[in-house]
Structure 1
Amino acid sequence: MSDSMSDCTEGDCTQNRTAVTEAEVEALVRGICFKTGPPRTLGVEVEWLVHELHLPQLPVSPERLEAAYAALRTVPLRSALTIEPGGQLELSSPPATSLMECIGTVSADLDAVRAVLREDDLGLLGIGTDPWHRPRRFLHEPRYDAMETCLDRTGPAGRAMMCTSASVQVCLDAGYEEPGALGHGRRWWLAHTLGPVLVAAFANSPVVAGRPTGWMSTRQLIWTEIGAGRAGAPPLEAEPRDAWARHVLDAPVMCVRRDDGPWDVPDGLTFREWIRSGTPRPPTRADLDYHVTTLFPPVRPHGHLELRMIDAQPGDDGWIVPLAVTTALFDDPEAAETAYRTVKPLAERTDGLPAPHNPLWTDAARYGLGDPELREAAVTCFTAALEALPRLGAGTAVTDAVTAFLNRYVLQGRCPADDLLDRLRGTDRRVQWKDIRT
């Protein structure tokens, strides 16, 4: 589910070609990135690694990926299908008016996608980081050339993020203008403070290059290592719209696009400094729109709120559980109030630092639900979500899936990463390491 800051395409609108001022940027970001109102719609973006169906450890050649994606582009889907830089596949649902509508749309699209991939002996793997392969870029486009150059300055995490990571991103309306459980200020705060609970409960990326990393969510570690300017959140103490507007202005520019030749990749130039200097050319509304897409905080206001901290989940339908739980904890007033009261004490562990660069987020990624406080919070929140789901119209299959996850993982202080580690260590005799794809 996506919203563009611009209602017209570059080149079609005069405003896109006109230089912007700092005041204009603040007004645009405040008004467009936070579209306040009653929560009515939701969506999900599901990313997958594409693997050999029978021998997932083998890399899929670029030629086979290209052929498979060419075939997929002929399939009518309601969700938007995009390809990530490393060849990961993403489906982004259209805005749905109910949880069950969203699940039904994406499930049908995934069935169609899997059928096409099976014809070429390919499958989808739900896991937060590729457990076997090093980063290898599949897409070679100016955007990703510039992104790679920019992110390489902070180390290898950028390439790992681009090419070997996958997630479940839940998209929810920003909320009411007024305060309260469904108000935009409370929802913004809750997203950042409940976020570590979601990281811990759904951690599913403990292995890189066939070895444990020591982290339950290596994917979250990777995002943290990209740096606060690119992948960090603004301070929570300020009004959300003001804080995000300042963050956008003070975040480093990834690239300055050109019609011909390689794009410029400035080092350390913020959007505010670009406006003031006007070099190499004055930034426009289109540049602002693009700049916002190059920021990767754990919660990105995109008209709606895009929660980006959840690892891709195992199984064909594993993505449904984080979608259902997160939706219930935000859109059901009773569950939202319970979640707020439950995670409020956890805020003390942030040391006042923005997400995800604080101890609470770090502990969630490193220990998962092995952290006692996160486990206790997860039990309460999942229980509240389970009670709320029937009020949101969730079907029996959805409530059964959440119940199973609660019993198998949350109540046991485990997360999907524990299953992967058990298989790697040979303590789970039912499944061999070669069957990690399940």
Structure 2
Amino acid sequence: MPMNSPAPPPSPISESQAEDLIHGICFKTGPPRLLGAELEWLVLDAERPGRPPSPERLHAAHAAARALPLNSRVTVEPGGQLELSSAPATSLSGCVDGLQADLTAVRAALLAQGLVLEGNGRDPRLPHRRLLASPRYDAMEAYLDRTGPAGRTMMRASASVQVCVDAGYEEPGALGHGRRWRLAHLLGAVLVAAFANSAVSEGPYAGWRCARQGNWADIDSRRSLAPPLDVPPRDGWTRHALDTEVMCVRSYDGEPWTIPQGLTFRDWLRTGGDPAYPGLRPPTAEDLDYHLTTLFPPVRPRGHLELRMIDAQPGDDGWLVPVAVVHALFDDPEASETAYRVTKALADTYGSAPAPRNPLWRSAARRGLSDPELRAAAKACFRAASEALPRLGASAHVRETVGAFTERFVLRGRCPADDPPRLQSAGAGKEAGR
């Protein structure tokens, strides 16, 4: 090919090719051995935490964090939330130590600019503004606006601790990876309740301990839901992904991205050039990969399992509690068996509606551990995790931090949202009076 010839456009894919790609990339087989975490943080003014920093200060803070020699990857969410994604680690100590070192460096760089990090599942500072302008976020916001304001709040004002665990072996039987996949969903409501940290006093989620979960449940009729769990995970997730609406079709010529109405990815595969969608080109493998990044279920298969239902946690070390507890409940056989048995018995009483709209998940988000059934399940799971951590080589600091959280919250039927709010919005009264 001549040196100056343009690259050929990506080749379209067929429906069967799309199914094969999802089957192959979303569940990696093998022994569970890796652990990772993604920590999202609000960025506050150290002296006036109730007032959002200016966009210029936030951009400078993000640039300072990106310039550091970190093991973690630094990214920025649309509202200016800063995210650290750990490198995959072969042990809990490797994951925690790496993130702690990187957080120390990031906090020092931000403090030099008069800024600090805050772990809170939902930003109470008003108004919520979008910091990032890009074709992706312009299209995402326009798409999510069709179903109401929850999408904007999710993009601009939410923060989480996402824990990533291996999918595990391709187990014998019809469900394949079913054990760890199912455990992640069974355990989800308990994790929502125990780590709820996004209480609000106004709006549609007033009084909820985990308003962030309410936002996720309300952003789309399908995009944030779990797929059916009574089918093999690969098949269930493949159908779910292809039968979810396309959020947007990317443009490569500088034009705004297309935001089709009611077009699933399967529709797009079957009708790529349909006149009903002017200018719609056939989908490629890159489009499919992008589509998968716009799906927001509580557990997302990305080769590994990404648990997305946990609020950002308060304090310098609060984040390590969900990381340690999830690791113990997935990767210690005895603790895993306890968690599966306890959470399955609880979930069986609430029917098969998908998370996060299942009544058990709604109760977890509304009531936290004041729900007696969730409290009992959380006590059993945290006890099993605490017993497993020494077997997994957890440091004394990790064990003590998990123990302190268990004593302060779980054993007392409380969650971080039950503490007095640490962050108040300087503009909250003004906004509420509009």
Normalised by the length of structure 2, the TM-score is 0.92
- Any conservation in 2 of the 1:369–1:410 contact (CA below 8 Å)? yes
Aligned to 2:327: 327
Aligned to 1:340: 340
Indicate yes or no: 2:285 matched with 1:285: yes
5 Å-filtered alignment, 1:294-309, equals: 294-309=294-309
Aligned to 2:206: 213
The alpha-carbon deviation at position 25 of structure 1 amounts to 1.2
Indicate yes or no: 2:392 matched with 1:392: yes
Task: Measure the CA separation in 1 of the matches of 2:298 and 2:211.
Answer: 15
Deviations 1:82-110 (A, max 9, x none): 00000000000011000000001111110
Letter of the 2:57 partner, please give it: R
Task: Measure the CA separation in 1 of the matches of 2:202 and 2:135.
Answer: 28
Is the partner of 1:383 in helix, strand or coil?
Answer: helix
Change (3 A) 1:93 1:55: same
Is the partner of 1:307 in helix, strand or coil?
Answer: strand
Aligned to 1:244: 237
Indicate yes or no: 2:136 matched with 1:149: no
Change (3 A) 1:396 1:210: farther
5 Å-filtered alignment, 1:57-206, equals: 57-179=50-172, 184-206=177-199
- Any conservation in 2 of the 1:39–1:176 contact (CA below 8 Å)? yes
Change (3 A) 1:46 1:382: same
Task: Measure the CA separation in 2 of the matches of 1:50 and 1:290.
Answer: 28
The alpha-carbon deviation at position 196 of structure 1 amounts to 0.2
Deviations 1:386-429 (A, max 9, x none): 000111110010010111111100010000000036x79xxxxx
Further displaced range: 127-136 or 348-357: 348-357
Aligned to 1:383: 383
Task: Measure the CA separation in 2 of the matches of 1:70 and 1:96.
Answer: 26
Aligned to 1:231: 224
Further displaced range: 160-169 or 28-37: 28-37
Task: Measure the CA separation in 2 of the matches of 1:90 and 1:31.
Answer: 28
Q: How many residues align?
A: 413
The alpha-carbon deviation at position 184 of structure 1 amounts to 2.2
Aligned to 1:407: 407
- Any conservation in 1 of the 2:355–2:361 contact (CA below 8 Å)? yes
Change (3 A) 1:179 1:133: farther
Letter of the 2:113 partner, please give it: D
Is the partner of 1:355 in helix, strand or coil?
Answer: coil
Indicate yes or no: 2:306 matched with 1:276: no
Equivalent of residue 261 in structure 1, options 231, 251, 255: 255
Task: Measure the CA separation in 1 of the matches of 2:178 and 2:100.
Answer: 32
- Any conservation in 1 of the 2:328–2:388 contact (CA below 8 Å)? yes
Is the partner of 1:392 in helix, strand or coil?
Answer: coil
- Any conservation in 1 of the 2:121–2:313 contact (CA below 8 Å)? yes
Deviations 1:242-264 (A, max 9, x none): 00000111011000000121000
Task: Measure the CA separation in 2 of the matches of 1:108 and 1:295.
Answer: 31
The alpha-carbon deviation at position 73 of structure 1 amounts to 2.1
Is the partner of 1:150 in helix, strand or coil?
Answer: helix
In structure 2, runs of 5+ residues without a counterpart are 1-5, 274-279, 427-434
The alpha-carbon deviation at position 227 of structure 1 amounts to 2.2
Change (3 A) 1:418 1:28: same
Task: Measure the CA separation in 2 of the matches of 1:178 and 1:67.
Answer: 48
RMSD: 2.1
The alpha-carbon deviation at position 81 of structure 1 amounts to 0.1
The alpha-carbon deviation at position 37 of structure 1 amounts to 1.1
Deviations 1:99-127 (A, max 9, x none): 00000111111011000100111011100
Letter of the 1:375 partner, please give it: R
The alpha-carbon deviation at position 183 of structure 1 amounts to 7.1
Task: Measure the CA separation in 2 of the matches of 1:221 and 1:82.
Answer: 24
Task: Measure the CA separation in 1 of the matches of 2:412 and 2:151.
Answer: 34
Task: Measure the CA separation in 2 of the matches of 1:37 and 1:357.
Answer: 32
Task: Measure the CA separation in 1 of the matches of 2:296 and 2:350.
Answer: 19
- Which structure has more helix as a fraction of its residues? 1
- Any conservation in 1 of the 2:224–2:296 contact (CA below 8 Å)? yes
Aligned to 1:427: none
Is the partner of 1:76 in helix, strand or coil?
Answer: coil
Task: Measure the CA separation in 2 of the matches of 1:72 and 1:135.
Answer: 23
Task: Measure the CA separation in 2 of the matches of 1:168 and 1:234.
Answer: 22
Change (3 A) 1:362 1:267: same
The alpha-carbon deviation at position 68 of structure 1 amounts to 1.5
Letter of the 2:353 partner, please give it: L
